[in-house]
Amino acid sequence: MTKREKRRRDEAPMPAASAGLLRFFEEDTPGIKLSPQLVVISGISLVVFALAAYFLLH
């Protein structure tokens, strides 16, 4: 590795991928709290109900 490459690597800033996400999710907002499992199960149930209604009524 050359001196220039090493200097560039040492001076490179850290990626800011989650810089604002942590602060966003710390805020407590009013509203209904739903678990991710409940949302996924509800979505799957809706799809199954719609498919069952489609096939039973046609």
Amino acid identity, position 12: A
Q: How far apart are CA 48 and CA 41, in angstroms?
A: 10
* Residue 54 lies inside a defined structural domain of this protein: yes
Determine the pLDDT at residue 29: 72
- Could you tell me if residue 44 is inside a domain? yes
- Encode pLDDT of 5-48 as tens digits: 655 555 555 555 555 555 555 567 788 888 999 999 999 999 99
| Nearest CA among 29, 48, 49, 45 for reference residue 37 | 45
Domain span at residue 51? 33-58
Smallest CA-to-CA distance from 47 within 39, 28, 22 is with: 39
Structural domain includes residue 12:
no
pLDDT for position 46: 98
* Domain contains 16: no
Query: Is there a domain that residue 3 lies in?
Result: no
Which positions ≥6 away from 48 have C-beta within 8 Å? Answer: none
| Domain membership flag for residue 53 | yes
How many domains in the chain?
A: 1
18 in any annotated domain: no
Instruction: Determine the Cα angle at 46 with ends 44 and 48, to 5°.
Output: 70
